[in-house]
Structure 1
Amino acid sequence: MPLDKPYAGIPGTTIFDADQSRKGYWLNQFCMSLMKAENRERFKKDERAYLDEWAMTEEQKQAVLARDLNRCIALGGNIYFLAKVGATDGKSFQQMAGSMTGMSEEAYRDMMVAGGRPANWKPGTKDDK
C-alpha cells in the first residue's frame, strides 16, 4: 500500500523520500565512492568505464556524464551526494546550484544574498541574469 505523499505536487520540487532513496541507491553509492582520491582519479581517467562498474540505470549514467544535476535528482540522486561529483570537477556548491537554475554563479549568489527567489520564479524571467 503506497504512502500518501501530500508533498508530491510541489511545482519544481523533488522530495528525497524513501522511494527516491531506493531509486537512486546506486547513483548515490557511486557519488560516495568519490570521497576516496583513488576513485576520483579512476573516474576522471575514464568516466564511462568507472560508471559501468555501478548498477546504475543507463539514464542515471547519462545524467552524470552530462553533469545534469537536475536530472540526477529526478532519478534519485541526493544533492549532498551529488556534491561529490561537483567537487571532483573542482566546482563549489554555489557553482553547482547556479548551474541547476540556469544562472551564472554570480547571478545565483546575488539572488541568494538578496533573499532568494520568489516561489513563482521561472528560468528565463528578468531576474535570472
Structure 2
Amino acid sequence: MGSTKSMTREYQDIPGTYVFDGVNHRRGYHINMFAKSLDIAANRDAFRADPEAYLNALPLNAEQRAVVLERDWLGMLRLGGNIYYMFKLAIFDGLSMQHLGAAMSGTDMTVDQFRQMMLDGGRTIAGNRSKKEQCNG
C-alpha cells in the first residue's frame, strides 16, 4: 500500500470538498488545537489582547498563522482545519455558521444570500459534481 499522501480518494474529485480525513487531520492539527484552546477564558483574553503573540507561541507555521489572522475560513479548511474547531474561532468573533458558509462559498455571497440559497435547496449541482465534469463541459 502506498503513502497516504499519494493516495487519491473519490471525494477529491468533488469541487470545494475538504474532507477531514487522516491526511487533513495531521495537516490541520495545530490550527485545530489553537481553536480548541479558545475554550479557556484566559486563552481567549490572551488572543484578544495580542493575536500575533498568542499564535507565535503555538507550533503553527507561517501559512497557518496567516489564515487564522486573516480569518481566511476557506484557507483554514484547505490547510486541514476542521469546521467544528474553526467554529470556535467564529464564535469568538461573534459570527454564525451562516457567516462561515457565505465566506467559504468562493464568491462574494452575503450571509442573507447564503441563507436564501440554503432555503432554496442549496447550491446547484451543475458544474459541482466533479472536477472532471468541469473539464469535459
TM-score (norm 2): 0.83
Moved over 3 A (4+): none
In structure 2, the residue matched to 1:60 is 64
**What value does the CA root-mean-square deviation take over the aligned residues?**
1.5
Residue 105 of structure 1 pairs with residue 111 of structure 2: yes
Q: What does residue range 1-129 of structure 1 map to in structure 2 within 5 Å?
A: 1-3=2-4, 4=7, 5-101=9-105, 102-120=108-126
Where does the alignment leave 5 or more consecutive residues of structure 1 unmatched? Answer: 123-129
Structure 2: how far apart are the matches of 1:45 and 1:24?
Answer: 24
If you compute each CA radius of gyration, which structure gives the higher value, 1 or 2? 2
In structure 2, the residue matched to 1:127 is none
Where does the alignment leave 5 or more consecutive residues of structure 2 unmatched? Answer: 129-137
TM-score (norm 1): 0.88
Number of aligned pairs?
122
Amino acid at match of 1:82: M
Structure 1: how far apart are the matches of 2:103 and 2:32?
Answer: 20
Deviation at 1:121, TM superposition (A): 6.3
Structure 2: how far apart are the matches of 1:36 and 1:45?
Answer: 14
